[in-house]
């Protein structure tokens, strides 16, 4: 197949929506993406290595509140989306998008094994005329150094009969304002032809696409976004510690500063950093820089500050109880929220779990309420969620707000709890007539 034919056929198939798409990894990123392509009219197969996940999706179940069961079921019934564990499904696909995890090893170095495994499956089935896009957040150079050689070893001519690009996913689970289609995509192809094709693909499903000159630029753009967030949250956290020492509310200060209409973006303190992105991605950059003889100082300082926050919240609970002549050992502590952020059920890297672990280690009898998380493991024990009922709130010696889910009635919490430690400023502005509220 000539390069002109390969590219031309893909352009036509993308534009007339006859291109067959595979999305590898059907998690927080891959499933919504697969559904978006399917809604746009493409035939989509989702491939996931986890048979339990595939079985759940097949019957319309998915553990996020962003995709209601009925929506998923309707798309499955519509016949343009299906899901499987079988990589043979790639064989007739024109487009393959890879959305597998990129966690850290215990050493906090990148664990790129999921990307390598998925890309090897795709490369081993390469046929001329395919577009392959990596979406997983990763270190700069992954596309050029890891993916390109895998495909070239199979005889692919990148930019001629095989089109490779990196396009970072930027979704924000739980964000009702900005859904996948509302968030501009960044696309960096290995060659210009790769960039153009990948950009054309994404223009079918999102508001706008920014083409950049290389995969490394796109890889770094995603890392910069997340380092920016990580560093600014660390700044807000350290600022909150300083404000407490001065007896001033950090929330009031930040909100006042945020009235400046330019040059300022508000970030707020919390019990630490969690999730699969902000807590993890900066280390992908730091690792790559170390290989290049450079220490990413902001990344390390931000991590130091953010990592100390769960311990600081434990200390706040202990001190607040102490002031009421209670000790943490034996105290009943009810946590509101264990997810790493509001309106999601994701507990990966959640600082709430570390706070609860620290409280338990000091002898507190902990329980938690979280409408999105039915159970969690803390240390050696499994906990089941309890309702955030009036009885449970009133019975606790301390209610600690760890995730500011919109589902909790904070006015009721402030009214009924004998003591509230609010690590999210969720009770900000609400009077606490009978109790005492300690805020970050
Ligand atoms: N979750 C987010 O909010 C978010 C936002 C932007 C970017 N990202 C990035 O997107 C990537 C995916 O994250 P996620 O949150 O969707 O992860 P996830 O754990 O929710 O989903 C990943 C899925 O990939 C599957 N998988 C793992 N290895 C596989 C393989 N070799 N073949 C097929 N399937 C495989 C897993 O079973 C899982 O279902 C990561 O790089 C992450 O950093 C995530």
pLDDT digits (tens, 9 = 90+) for 373-405: 999 999 889 999 999 999 999 999 999 999 999
Q: Which residues line ligand 1 (CB under 6 A)?
A: 24-30, 47-50, 53, 99-102, 114, 117-118, 136-137, 169-171, 173, 276-277
Question: Is pLDDT above 90 for 184?
Answer: yes
What pLDDT score was predicted for residue 12? 97
Query: 37 falls in which pLDDT band (50, 70, 90)?
Result: very high
Catalytic machinery residues: 277
Point out which residues pair with 21 in neighbouring strands.
44, 95
Pocket test residue of 25, 111, 139 for ligand 1, highest count of atoms within 8 A of CB? 25
Q: Which atom of ligand 1 is nearest to the CA of 47?
A: 33
CB neighbours of 403 closer than 8 A, spacing ≥ 6?
A: 336, 337, 338, 339, 340, 341, 342, 350, 352, 370, 424
Whether the pLDDT of residue 65 is over 90: the answer is no
What is the 98 CA–ligand 1 centroid distance (Å)? 9
**Range with the poorest average pLDDT among 60-74, 208-222, 349-363:** 60-74
Residues pairing with 47 in the sheet: 24, 84
Q: Which atom of ligand 1 is nearest to the CA of 346?
A: 1
From the alpha carbon of 135, which atom of ligand 1 is closest? 10
Q: In angstroms, what is the span from residue 137 Cα to ligand 1's centroid?
A: 9
Region 170-177: mean pLDDT is 88
Judge whether 135 and 99 are in contact, CB under 8 Å: yes
Q: Ligand 1 centre from 285 Cα, in Å?
A: 19
pTM over 0.85? The answer is yes
CA of residue 240 to ligand 1 center, whole Å? 33
The residue among 48, 45, 50, 49 whose CA lies nearest residue 22 is 45
Picking from 227, 152, 214, the residue whose alpha carbon sits closest to that of residue 186 is 214
pLDDT of res. 6: 83
C-beta of residue 165 within 8 angstroms of C-beta of residue 195? yes
CA dist 184 → 36, 37, 116, 178 (Å)? 14, 15, 27, 10
Substitution site in 276, 284, 346 for ligand 1 pocket (most atoms within 8 Å of beta carbon): 276
Q: Whose structure tokens read 């430690």?
A: 421
Per residue in 38-57, pLDDT (tens digit) is: 999 999 999 999 999 999 99
């Amino acid at each position: 197949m000539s390069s002109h034919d390969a590219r031309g056929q893909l352009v036509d198939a993308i534009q007339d929506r006859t291109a067959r798409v595979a999305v590898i990894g059907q998690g927080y990123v891959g499933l919504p993406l697969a559904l978006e392509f399917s809604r746009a009219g493409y035939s989509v197969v989702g491939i996931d290595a986890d048979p339990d996940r595939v079985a759940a999706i097949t019957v319309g179940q998915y553990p996020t509140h962003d995709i209601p069961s009925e929506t998923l079921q309707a798309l499955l019934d519509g016949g343009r989306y299906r899901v499987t564990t079988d990589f043979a499904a790639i064989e007739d696909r024109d487009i393959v998008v890879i959305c597998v995890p990129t966690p850290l090893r215990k050493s906090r170095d990148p664990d790129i094994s999921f990307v390598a495994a998925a890309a090897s499956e795709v490369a081993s089935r390469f046929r001329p005329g395919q577009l392959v896009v990596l979406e997983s957040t990763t270190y700069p150079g992954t596309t050029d150094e890891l993916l390109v050689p895998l495909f070239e070893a199979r005889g692919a001519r990148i930019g001629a009969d095989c089109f490779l690009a990196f396009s970072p996913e930027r979704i924000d689970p739980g964000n009702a304002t900005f859904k996948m289609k509302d968030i501009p995509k960044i696309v960096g192809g290995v060659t210009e032809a790769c960039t153009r094709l990948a950009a054309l693909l994404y223009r079918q499903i999102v508001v706008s696409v920014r083409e950049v000159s290389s995969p490394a630029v796109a890889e770094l753009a995603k890392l910069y976004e997340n380092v920016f967030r990580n560093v600014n949250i660390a700044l807000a956290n350290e600022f909150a510690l300083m404000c407490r020492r001065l007896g001033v509310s950090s929330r009031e200060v930040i909100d006042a500063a945020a009235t400046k209409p330019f040059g300022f973006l508000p970030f707020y303190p919390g019990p630490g950093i969690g999730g699969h992105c902000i807590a993890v991605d900066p280390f992908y950059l730091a690792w790559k820089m170390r290989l290049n003889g450079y220490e990413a100082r902001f990344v390390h300082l931000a991590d130091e500050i953010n990592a100390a926050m769960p311990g600081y919240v434990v200390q706040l609970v202990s001190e607040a109880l102490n002031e009421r002549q209670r000790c943490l050992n034996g105290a009943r502590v009810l946590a509101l929220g264990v997810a790493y952020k509001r309106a999601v059920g994701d507990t990966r890297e959640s600082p709430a779990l570390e706070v609860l672990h620290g409280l338990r280690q000091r002898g507190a009898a902990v329980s938690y309420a979280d409408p999105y998380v039915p159970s969690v493991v803390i240390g050696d024990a499994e906990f089941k969620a309890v309702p955030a009922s009036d009885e449970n709130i009133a019975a606790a010696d301390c209610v600690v707000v760890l995730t500011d889910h919109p589902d909790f009635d904070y006015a009721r919490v402030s009214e009924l709890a004998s003591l509230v430690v609010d690590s999210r400023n969720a009770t900000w502005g609400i009077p606490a007539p009978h109790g005492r509220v300690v805020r970050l």
